[in-house]
Amino acid sequence: MADIIVPELAESITEGTIAQWLKQPGDTVEKGEFIVELETDKVNVEVISEEAGVVSELLAAEGDTVQVGQVIAVVGAGSGSTASAPAAQSEAKEEVKAPEAPKAAPVAEETGAEQDRTIASPAARKLAREKGINLSEISPVDPMGRVRVQDVSAHGSAKAPAKAASAPAASAPKEDDGRTTREKMSRRRQTIATRLLEVRQSTAMLTTFNEIDMTNVMALRSRKKDQFFDQNDVRLGFMSFFTKAVVAALKKYPYVNSQIDGTDIVKNNFYDIGIAVSTEGGLVVPIVRDADRKNFAEIEGNIGELAKKARDNKLALSDMSGGSFTITNGGVFGSLLSTPILNGTQVGILGMHTIQKRPIAVGNEIEIRPMMYVALSYDHRVIDGKDSVGFLKTVKELLENPEDLLLNS
């Protein structure tokens, strides 16, 4: 018999959420086979079984928060079914737990077959037994019909006379009347919300803006994109230009590439640039390592690989830790202007926006040019206005004269 334990995830991560059980009680599991998927603050992690055998017990339900080191399942000796039909799962669960199960109320005993046919999480089934509730009488919220702990608790509360009597006649709007829909925030979304709020509360964040004439970058890209693709098998985008410009500006203004540690300012002598990527689960920021040492093709290749891993939910913790500065591009969604929020302990983040043709004074003439607003949010505790404005002005000048950018890289 072997315990399935929540493994060490990362130095800063102490807990996770059961996202999905890949095996159910009664299922056979091989040594090294995935048994559960955990959702953490940053990535999803699949946990393997260290022993071969049969899953005899699940000690946490999908959606439960679990701690590093916590036992969440038990694998016993023997062989079982590799099928995962709900009825088979329920029967295996009941057989294993039968010696310990308290006597159920008569209604549960009389309808045991119905209970076995009901799809329910292990925790919900256990709670129903303890309360003497027939699972087949519960109306689950889950559209797939799976009964969870909260469904059992709600059913029990509804049957309690005292609680029912004290409920006001006109309470909160019912969700099933179509006026509202309640959705539990994912663990990642909760973490994003908490950390963004912490940044706003713990930093002296300000934002400075500028605009970039994208004419020359767009012309250079148009001339070279086919040759670039033929030589490197990767497309030439705008992000590599911005990454190179940011690195050059960070070298000129090193405090923008730093962080606060207590009463110390730690200036980073490396250039690991975070590239914000939007996924269904929320925003993630994988890192392009040593961007100062990479050419345009290497940067574009890294960004493409990391973005695909992010969308496929395959990012590792190592892909997102240790960045020194972040670039986020709201322009892909059509944003014209925004104020990006600092990422973690970093003191600077560059916001790109959509390219829009606008009338611009060029000498004594008015011309229509493709313009982009850019924003630098920074921690004023470390960076003064002079450095923030100078940093953004450097990025602007390099992008408006991309030949200089190529020479500097």
Domains annotated on the chain, with CATH: 2-163 (2.40.50.100), 188-408 (3.30.559.10)
Residue 386 has what DSSP assignment? H
pLDDT of residue 123: 65
Q: Which residues are catalytic?
A: 380, 384
pLDDT digits (tens, 9 = 90+) for 120-161: 665 677 678 778 888 788 877 665 566 776 677 778 666 555
pLDDT of residue 185: 80
- Two tokens, residue 15: 């807990």
State the average pLDDT over residues 298-318.
Answer: 90
Q: Is the pLDDT of residue 325 over 90?
A: yes
State the average pLDDT over residues 291-313.
Answer: 93
As a whole number of angstroms, the distance between CA 39 and CA 187 comes to 7
Q: If you write DSSP's letter for every residue of 79-107 in order, what string do you get? A: --B----HHHHHHHHHHHHTTTPPPPPHH
For residue 21, name the pLDDT band (cuts at 50, 70, 90): very high
Q: Are strands 325-329 and 355-362 parallel, antiparallel or unpaired?
A: unpaired
Burial grade of 256 (CB within 10 A; 0-12, 13-18, 19 or more): buried
pLDDT of residue 64: 87
Any bridge partners for residue 4, and if so which?
73
pLDDT of residue 169: 46
State the average pLDDT over residues 275-295.
Answer: 90
Q: How many of the other CB atoms lie within 10 Å of CB of 36?
A: 25
